[in-house]
Amino acid sequence: MAKTAKAAFIPQQPEELTTEWLTAALSQEALSQGATVTGFATGRPGTGVGFSGITVKLTMEWDRDDPTLPTEVVAKFPTDMAHRGLTEAEGGYEREIWFYEGLGADMPLRIPTCHYSEMDPGPGAASRRRKNRIVNRTPKPIARFIAKRANDLIRATDRRYVLLIEYVPDARLTTLDQEVPADDLQAIMHAIAKMHARYWREPRLAADLATSYDTASQNYKFLQAGYDLWADDFFARTDGLEERHRVVTDWAHVNLEAVLERLNVPFTLLHGDVRAENMLFLPSGELVMIDFGTVSSGPPAWDVAYALSASLEPGPDARATMTAMATAYHDALLAAGVTEYSLDELLNDIDVALCFLAHRQVLTAMVMDGGYDTDDGASTGLGDLWIRKIIDLLPPNPPQLEN
């Protein structure tokens, strides 16, 4: 469990790990049985593309043969890239730790077991919200200055975070630059419907630390500033973007505060990053959900729009396919007993989320390090790749912000 007092030592990169620290960290499984880690090797987990953290697979040796001792564990550390400050501002590390310690204990889906978590204490939720309110009153010229130099000015803290979680072997996933099989997407829709139904109007959502962060963004002033700075260049350089797409993303820009208010209505627990590469599929067909650094409470349409915008291939039939998938999700939600959220409301909120996601890719493309390697040896950034998938899903007209 994460401690509230600053620990003497919290490793922040794989090179800092030791057998002594791993033995102590895994004490719940190991020391109670008198077992000791005698050696370990590090390697790539074999799945996923890390944008916000460093993830390594640890293969461990123990001083005895005991099938109950974990021999493969995933260690997660904060990123060493320039955008760590932005990730921290969105709670990308502490949210995952809080999730495993709280709401994750009774997830209706399979998630990795958390063996150990540790982080330095940080500001409380009330203090953080006060700071965000001040930031969101930043004058436009200052906000643009900061957005233009976000990775330099939004500095990382000296807080330390680490997670040791279960390694899931023989798992298959699909990254953002690949086509998601239709059966996988159907399974994802049913999985998130099951999760949403389990936490629907759950009272703990109002008090849990993991869901104390807003759904889409904490500092919308910087999103607006980034769009002001780069939208013209972004639209000019991105194939397929047309004036009709600019109309709805400009609408999100002008109405950003109201859009975010709509996306923060606390209906249920949201995963927040439902890309297919955060869904592991086992040979048995079982789905394992991973990466909880963006959990929040909000309308289920956020997770649905996120999943579909990151999964569906662009083309003239993309929006019709999206509607069919969203309807299948809604049918699963109804079957689980949630009847207060109509299909029309879901589809409208999906459009709100899509307009916002398209708007956000402008800033993502400009400030986010890392990308996906292409066949010609180049790299495509997350924002550049995602906007190509969103284009054909965008609504022909701005959606409604009021019921």
Closest CA to 200 of 121, 106, 267: 267
pLDDT of residue 218: 85
Tell me the chain's radius of gyration from C-alpha atoms.
Answer: 21
Residues 370/51, Cβ–Cβ less than 8 Å: yes
Its pTM stands at 0.90
Contact yes or no for 395/323 (Cβ under 8 A)? no
Residues 127-131: contacts with CB within 8 Å, 24+ apart?
128/212, 128/218, 129/212
Residue 60 host element (H or E): strand 53-62
Taking alpha carbons only, the member of 85, 117, 81 closest to residue 101 is 117
For the chain, give every domain's residue range.
14-120+140-393
d(CA 235, CA 337): 43
What integer pLDDT is reported at residue 385 of this predicted model? Answer: 83
Select from 90, 165, 99 the least CA-distant residue to 132: 90
**pLDDT, tens digit only, all 403 positions of the chain:** 454 556 789 999 999 999 999 999 987 655 557 889 999 999 987 554 455 789 999 999 999 888 888 999 999 999 877 678 888 888 999 999 999 999 999 999 999 999 999 999 998 888 988 988 888 888 988 888 887 777 677 788 899 999 999 999 999 988 888 889 999 999 999 999 999 999 999 999 999 999 999 998 888 888 899 999 999 999 998 888 999 999 999 999 999 999 999 999 999 999 999 999 999 999 999 999 999 999 999 999 999 999 999 999 999 999 999 999 999 999 999 999 999 999 999 999 999 999 999 999 888 877 654 544 445 444 456 778 888 899 999 999 999 998 6
CA distance 303 to 386: 15
Around 311, how many Cα atoms within 13 Å sit in the side-chain half-sphere? 29
CA 258/CA 264 separation, integer angstroms: 10
Per the document, the length of the chain is: 403
Sign of the C-alpha dihedral, residues 336, 342, 348, 349?
negative
Helices (H), 67-139: 84-89, 94-101, 125-135
Alpha carbon distance 198, 103 (integer Å): 11
The pLDDT assigned to 113 comes to 95
Burial class (CB in 10 A: 0-12, 13-18, 19+), 131: middle
Tokens of 229: 């700075």
